[in-house]
Amino acid sequence: MVNTHGDAHPYLGMWITADGQVRHQLLPGGPYDEARGSVESACTGSCQITGDRIFYQDDSAFSADGIFIDGVLHHAGMAMHCAGAAPSTAGAV
């Protein structure tokens, strides 16, 4: 997945829930690989990022979406942070 300037998309990489139980690897060209707990590749498919929105379609044709807000991926009731990035404090009280 590349942006219009040919650079790697800033949202590519590993996104992880705070407890580490769900991990989404967003890969160049559009595939993604989701791990759950000790199960690697629990779900695989393709994703498309448009602006701050992400649209997933897994290999069984199930689809879902999410949104990136202040460095956090919100998807299916989960908040995921990019691996190696400090959690966002935006909106913290």
> For position 70, which CATH number holds?
2.40.128.290
- What's the pLDDT tens digit per position in 33-76? 999 999 999 999 999 999 999 999 999 999 999 999 999 999 99
Q: Are 36 and 44 in contact (CB under 8 A)?
A: no
CB 88 within 8 A of CB 70: yes
Residue 11: other Cβ atoms inside 10 A: 17
Let me know if residue 91 belongs to a domain. no
Q: Model pTM?
A: 0.81
Q: Which domain holds residue 25?
A: 13-82
**Inside any domain, residue 24:** yes
In-domain check, residue 71: yes
Q: Return the number of other C-beta atoms located less than 10 Å from residue 59's C-beta.
A: 10
In a domain, 87, yes or no: no
In a domain, 92, yes or no: no
**42 found inside a domain:** yes
Overall domain count for the chain = 1
